[in-house]
Amino acid sequence: MGPVWQEWRRRRDEREQMKAEILALLRESEDYVSGQELCNRFGVSRSAVWKAVNQLKKEGYEIQAVQNRGYKLVRALDYGESELRSRIHTAWAGAQLYFHQVTGSTNLLAKQAGEGDAPHGALFVAGEQTAGRGRRGRSWQSPPGANIYFTILLRPEFSPDQASMLTLVMAHSVAAAIHRLTGMEAGIKWPNDVLLEGRKVCGILTEMSLEREYIHYVVCGVGINVAPQAFPEEIREHVTTLEAAYGQPVSKGALLQYVMEAFEQDYDAFAAAGDLSPLLESYNGMLVNLGRRVRILDPKGEWEGTARGINTEGELLVEDATGRVTAVYAGEVSVRGIYGYV
């Protein structure tokens, strides 16, 4: 990328950031915010403020402009680049945001950026995915405007064998964010699903790129079902949406903001400890597997036992009929009463 393009990108980012900060000020104020106050705040002309406000209007925000009083936000959007920029104020998780109304896969976008110089914590968000997928290559339903689709790019300094635990860290963060937004108790089905009322509301796919024996980057992709929607008949009994379970509309922008805030805190604690010990008690409290009969779908042969929680390495502890406890590292685990296992 040449210097001209870099300068254009820098100026664009500055404009987008000012627009997002104006939106945040309007959202937080119960009264009008004067144009002069905004000029003074950002060190720009009234014309620049007017252009930013006008752009927000074009995006769909309803903003009243009254002479000698200023601007007032009447109706906001709940998603989109400006909305997310105005909400996410973390130190690094989501600090650099890339929003696409439609894309094939946010994981693919993040991996392409990971091969370049995109920073740790860069966040890739889409309004719609056309080629989303889950674990083991399964397709992921991605209807437009109904859900949250995002991937965060990570450049960890720890060893590759710790990277698989990032799926558990993200699941913990998503469950915590859902509780913060709605008050509902979200559960975690080890290792990568978040549930509401026993049905899947969120799936997580973590992928890693290695450079010799070091992590080049990790991408952690998340899909959260938000708005009521029609699911294929074969999965209809096993999935739900946040709004269907909660019984009222929720803000996708607020939820993603809360996920980023929770993930930044959880990731930093995990990275500092080198394992899941800081999250262990809280995670096991959310674990729907805990104390339930589970079926381990091991390539060497299926077997059953009772889940006793996870350990600090993120392994699921399963007790068999003889009382022996085995640490299950990964793979498919079916829980009695969850996803049709009875």
Q: What is the pLDDT of residues 233-258, one digit of tens each?
A: 888 888 999 999 999 999 999 999 99
In this structure, CATH architecture of domain 3-75 = Orthogonal Bundle (1.10)
The 3-state DSSP class for residue 150 equals strand
- 224, 196 Cβ separation under 8 angstroms: no
Residue spans in the chain of domains classed CATH 2.30.30.100: 293-335
Answer whether 0.85 is exceeded by the pTM.
Answer: yes
By C-alpha distance, which of 215, 213, 189, 183 is closest to 201?
A: 189
* DSSP assignment string, 252-281: HHHHHHHHHHHHHHHHHHHHHHTSSTTTHH
Phi/psi for 247 (5° steps) reads 85, 10
- Residue 12 has a pLDDT of 83
Q: pLDDT by residue (tens digit) across 119-158?
A: 999 999 999 988 755 544 555 556 778 899 999 999 999 9
Separation in Å, CA 277 to CA 2, 191, 284? 46, 16, 11
Residue spans in the chain of domains classed CATH 3.30.930.10: 81-286
One-letter identity of residue 161? D
In this structure, CATH architecture of domain 81-286 = 2-Layer Sandwich (3.30)
* DSSP assignment string, 289-304: TTTSEEEEE-TT--EE
Which parts of the chain have pLDDT scores under 70? 1-2, 5, 132-142, 331-332, 334-342
- Residue 11 has a pLDDT of 82
| Partners of 181 in the β-ladder | none
Q: Which helix (H) or strand (E) holds 128?
A: strand 123-129
CATH code assigned to 293-335: 2.30.30.100
Residue spans in the chain of domains classed CATH 1.10.10.10: 3-75
- Residue 138 has a pLDDT of 53
